[in-house]
Amino acid sequence: MCLESLDSAPLSLSLSLSLSLSHTHTHTHKQAQAQKFAYRCSRTFPLPLLWRCPRLRLYFTPSCEAFGDLKLELDLGVCTTVMAVSASGLSLLGSFASSSLRILIMVLLLESWPNLVMCTTFTLSNDCSYEVWPGVSGSPPLGESGFVLEPGQSRVLSPPSGWSGRIWARTDCSFDGTGRGSCATGDCGGVLECGGAGGAPPVTLAEFTLGGKDFYDVSLVDGYNLPLTVSAQSAGGTSADLEAAAGSGAVPSCGTAGCTSNVLLAGGAGAGAMCPPQLVQTDAAGRVIACRSACDAFAAPQFCCTGAFSTPQTCGPSSYSELFKSACPTAYSYAYDDPSSTFTCIGATGYTITFCPSS
């Protein structure tokens, strides 16, 4: 058996394998769109999985003999270990005289199988008219927050499977050559690379828990420093299919979470009427840079949902949180604002986090 590289001369046999991830929704039984992956064959084993290749290709030259181009399609279910192979695919596998080659093909597929459940990306897009320094905290550590986004710039991050954490924008930052400095809002300990540390309030947060079923939201519980939205992306690169969310029905599955309202002009001059004077935060020059939450401003149990107010039954919205809710209906305004603020998605290949989105 001869194995050639993708970068080598034309090969005798090309197996083009299209893998589609599927799931069973509790109510809709709707199949997710295809996600495509790629193996780069080489003479070194094990063969690496290349996430960003356009399709899965295995190139073989069994016994260095010439075979025609053949195609094999397989469907893999996300929530099951069953691999469905078409009749033509079984016939193709059976056509190889070498049982070791058939075993190798199946081993390569099964080896990649555990990794196919998650292949999520975060696209951070700065639509603000000023620079932002994204902050990231979570588990496992993502370790990618030591950079600036100029107006109009975007950057893609690749969280590991099962990642849970927060993403936010830092504003008015200044760092020296060693990465030490500070930010007017969202500061994470005075360093360029947050290293897992959270952002200091007040700050608008995008929160994620990734898995077979992703949970995400935009939170104003720690205050507000700029508008922010989170939108789910399907395998085709567009917004994921909208379905009625299980439970309340108030939030669409795979919908867009966030806040497009300019409660204030972060880094600019002046504040909107939505932020009460007692919650306004200014910098040393007297510019309004953020709007604090009532919990952060007053540290009272009834605003922080702590102590005797630590349950959904005893901690309801306050007049302050209702101001946030009226400005940003799909964002968390206080700790138990779940029904209209928690979003779920199955089958999303990525999420776009937009700072200062157009309303």
Q: CA 65 to CA 28: how far, in whole Å?
A: 48
- Of all residues in the chain, what percent carry a pLDDT higher than 70? 58
- The answer to whether 102 touches 93, Cβ cutoff 8 Å, is yes
pLDDT at 161: 80
Assigned domain for 7 exists: no
Distance, first Cα to last Cα, the chain: 59
Residue indicated by tokens 């469907």: 75
| Domain edge (last residue) among 115, 131, 148 | 115
Query: Would you say residue 3 has pLDDT above 80?
Result: no
pLDDT tens profile 179-202: 999 999 999 999 999 988 999 999
Residues 20 and 167 in one domain: no
Q: Would you state the pLDDT for residue 133?
A: 97
CA 292 to chain centroid, in Å, comes to 26
Domain boundary among 57, 82, 115: 115
Helix segments in 43-95, DSSP class H: 87-94
* Three-state DSSP state, 175: strand
**What is the extent of the structural domain holding 62?**
13-115
Same domain, 228 and 144: yes
Which domain-ending residue is among 115, 142, 176? 115
Are residues 203 and 329 part of one domain? yes
- 304-357 pLDDT, tens digit per residue, is 999 999 999 999 999 999 989 999 999 999 999 988 899 999 888 899 999 999
Token pair, residue 49, equals 């999985």
How far apart, in Å, are the Cα atoms of 37 and each of 88, 94, 305, 320? 21, 24, 45, 48
What does the alpha-carbon distance between residue 203 and residue 227 come to, in Å, rounded to a whole number?
10
Tell me, yes or no, whether 173 and 63 share the same domain. no
Residue 61 in any domain: the answer is yes
95-105 average pLDDT score: 54
Q: Answer whether 337's CB lies under 8 Å from 288's CB.
A: no
* pLDDT, position 67: 34
Is residue 3 in a domain? Answer: no
Co-location of 111 and 252 in the same domain: no
Q: Tally Cβ neighbours within 10 Å of residue 237.
A: 9
On the question of pLDDT at 39 being above 80, the answer is no
Residue 325 and residue 190 share a domain: yes
- Indicate which CATH number applies to the domain containing 209: 2.60.110.10
**Quick one: pLDDT at residue 273?**
56
Domain count for the chain, please give it: 2
CB 355 within 8 A of CB 132: yes
The predicted pLDDT at position 339 comes to 85
| pTM for this predicted structure | 0.66
DSSP state of 279: G
